[in-house]
Structure 1
Amino acid sequence: MALYAEKGIDGVPVRTLTSHAGVNAAAIHYHFGSTEALAEVVFDELSARVNKRRTLALKEITAAAGTAGTRPEVTVIVQAFVAPYVGDGAATEGQLLAQLILKHRLSPSPMTERVIKKHFDPMAKKFVAALHDAVPEIPLSLMYLRYMLMVSTVVLFLTDRGRPNRLHRLSGTKSGTKNAQETANALVDFVVGGIRAPASS
């Protein structure tokens, strides 16, 4: 996973993979059939594991709100969503998830389509339902759009792989993104503001 996170989904040649794993190219083709099939196994396992954590967190949030007789809080829902991208493991898991989603947006393949449909679509519908419960005055159709805008915000921010990235280039020493928690808070605050914004007439 670390190689894919560092070099991108399409940026890891077979020789690098085999060297890192201590096997030869024939072993990859024997066990997986192709490097794309190997990538699918990696992303299938990662997506299942991470989205299970997010879904369980969301279930706890909605259950607690139900017990208290209140609406779920938008902020904690968004925090649960962005956790893989900004929390522990973000440098590998978060980068991989962001790259997978960006690749599917820009150049979808049968592999990305299968992974997204299997692991991300069911999770997305649960988050949209929870967000709609939290802010019921926003029409459900609009909440789906806002969910997609949330995903786009997170993915585009995390996949700026320039050296230095554009935020650092624009802000210079004024940037506060060296502090991971500050970055996470800013991301959550921005998304929550968009989710809660009144719908235009």
Structure 2
Amino acid sequence: MSARRNTSNEGATKQKIIDAALVLFAEYGIDGVPVRALTSHAGVNVAAIHYHFGGMEAVAEAVFSELSARINKTRTSKLEDILARAKAKRKKPDVADIVLVFVEPYLDENATTEGQLLAQLILKHRLSPSPMTEQVIKQHFDPMAKQFVAALHAAVPSVPLSQMYWRYMLLVSAVVLSVSNRSASNRLERLSGGEADGSDLNALRNALIEFVIGGIRAPHHAVPAP
């Protein structure tokens, strides 16, 4: 009984750390949270961080895993609803509907902090992958990616499936780089002479969605070899 209670307590402590890290990472960035700030927010001591995770890198990876599982489960479910409705109407699914479901977790007004954090974590994985983040991608992103590629191909069957995989990866890159940019400088505003504002999240959302939908729908033309 005592061993079971200890296991339960350890699990609760570990989850408290993950929950606190999710909040702090979303607000200050993955690399902007000192260990002491995390322990204070979670109500644990430094030893608990080292005991359960070994360090802040592993904490970030645990947050990545939990956030990925939850967000991808939601958008996969919404994608299945889109496909079911299209099938019931005997129509092709609409590209805009599919793209909106994919982009929503990153840019929806109710989820911008978690969406931005997820984008940062994906970018961090791309820049410095670890066995843990590789496992998260394989487990929580690869199955979802295949479903979205298949759905986009069903929506635009004139584009070869192999090409749609490229377009999906370019979609991911555009979203991740756009959303994870936490720079205080507003280069977009400077370049446009004030015509566009990089801090306007609604404008970013609209421009990004329009850009992605256009790219997915674009006719496929084989480019001659150089």
TM-score by length of 2: 0.82
Note the residue ranges of structure 2 that are not aligned, 5 or more in a row. Answer: 1-21
Match runs of 1:1-20 below 5 Å: 1-20=22-41
C-alpha distance in 1, partners of 2:121/2:198? 23
76-85 or 39-48, which moves further after superposition? Answer: 39-48
Question: In the alignment, which residue of structure 2 is the partner of 1:48?
Answer: 69
The residue matched to 2:152 in structure 1 has which SS? helix
Q: How far did residue 172 of structure 1 move?
A: 4.8
Q: How far did residue 5 of structure 1 move?
A: 2.4
Question: In the alignment, which residue of structure 2 is the partner of 1:198?
Answer: 219
Question: In the alignment, which residue of structure 1 is the partner of 2:59?
Answer: 38
Name the aligned partner's letter for residue 132 of structure 1: H
Question: In the alignment, which residue of structure 2 is the partner of 1:28?
Answer: 49
Structure 1 stretches of 4+ with a deviation exceeding 4 A read 176-179
Match runs of 1:121-200 below 5 Å: 121-176=142-197, 179-200=200-221
User: Do structure 1's residue 63 and structure 2's residue 84 form an aligned pair?
Assistant: yes
Deviation per CA, 1:53-95, whole angstroms, max 9, x where unpaired?
Answer: 1000100000000000000000000000000011044332111
C-alpha distance in 2, partners of 1:165/1:36? 29
Percent identity over paired residues: 64
C-alpha distance in 2, partners of 1:62/1:33? 43
Q: How far did residue 167 of structure 1 move?
A: 1.9
RMSD: 1.8
Name the aligned partner's letter for residue 103 of structure 1: K
Match runs of 1:106-117 below 5 Å: 106-117=127-138
Name the aligned partner's letter for residue 101 of structure 2: A
Q: 1:65 to 1:80 in 2, by over 3 A?
A: same
TM-score by length of 1: 0.92
Name the aligned partner's letter for residue 183 of structure 1: L
Q: How far did residue 3 of structure 1 move?
A: 1.9
Note the residue ranges of structure 1 that are not aligned, 5 or more in a row. Answer: none
Please tell me whether Structure 1 or Structure 2 has the larger radius of gyration of its CA atoms. 2
Deviation per CA, 1:93-120, whole angstroms, max 9, x where unpaired?
Answer: 1111111111122121122211111111
Aligned length: 201
